[in-house]
């Protein structure tokens, strides 16, 4: 089936550094999402993005976070600067349509470890 690819699968960085997590969504999809999962907790919505704009973001989407998808390339999540509490697995997802029904396609996650 359709696949969402995430790069890197795992990254270890020092606190205060910048990190960019990359997502290659399903090719014809228009809506893009990031979710965060801390070990042992549920996946939590961070942000969704459509037509070059953030549609909605949660309180977890701190000022240090930003998303973009320049010219149809990777959909990226940038964290600058990183903090210890940013350690988590970040899942990218995409969907063809908006609205709250229908299918989200998830990537396998990027595990971020902040030391």
Partner 1 sequence: QQQVRQSPQSLTVWEGETTILNCSYEDSTFDYFPWYRQFPGKSPALLIAISLVSNKKEDGRFTIFFNKREKKLSLHITDSQPGDSATYFCAASKAGNTRKLIFGLGTTLQVQP
Tokens of 11: 């990254």
Q: Which stretch binds partner 1 (CB under 8 A): 10-18, 22-30, 53-61, 74-82?
A: 53-61
Q: Does 7 bind partner 1 (CB under 8 A)?
A: no
Q: Which stretch binds partner 1 (CB under 8 A): 22-30, 67-75, 79-87, 98-106?
A: 98-106
> Residue 69 is encoded by which pair of tokens?
């998808």
Kindly list the distances between the CA atom of residue 95 and the CA atoms of 27, 65, 67, 90, 112, in Å, as whole numbers in the listed order: 10, 22, 17, 17, 24
Our finding on whether 48 is near partner 1 (CB under 8 A) is yes
Residue 8 in the binding site for partner 1 (CB under 8 A): no
Complex with partner 1: residue 30 or 81, whichever CB lies closer? 30
Tell me which residue has tokens 């089936």: 1
Is position 65 an interface residue for partner 1 (rule: CB under 8 A)?
no
Q: According to the 3-state scheme, what is the secondary structure of 87-110? A: CEEEEEEEECCCCCCCCCEECCCE
Residues binding partner 1 (CB under 8 A)? 1, 4, 31, 33, 35, 41-45, 48, 55-56, 58, 91, 93, 95, 98-109
């Amino acid at each position: 089936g359709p696949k969402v690819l995430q790069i890197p699968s795992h990254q270890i960085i020092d606190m205060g550094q910048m990190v960019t997590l990359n997502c290659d969504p399903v090719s014809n999809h228009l809506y893009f999402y990031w979710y965060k999962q801390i070990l042992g907790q549920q996946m939590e919505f961070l942000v969704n993005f459509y037509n070059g704009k953030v549609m909605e973001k949660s309180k977890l989407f701190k000022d240090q976070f930003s998303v973009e998808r320049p010219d149809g390339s990777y959909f990226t999540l940038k964290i600058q600067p990183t903090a210890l509490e940013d350690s988590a697995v970040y899942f990218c997802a995409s969907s063809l349509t908006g609205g709250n029904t229908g299918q989200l396609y998830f990537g396998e996650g990027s595990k971020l470890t902040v030391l």
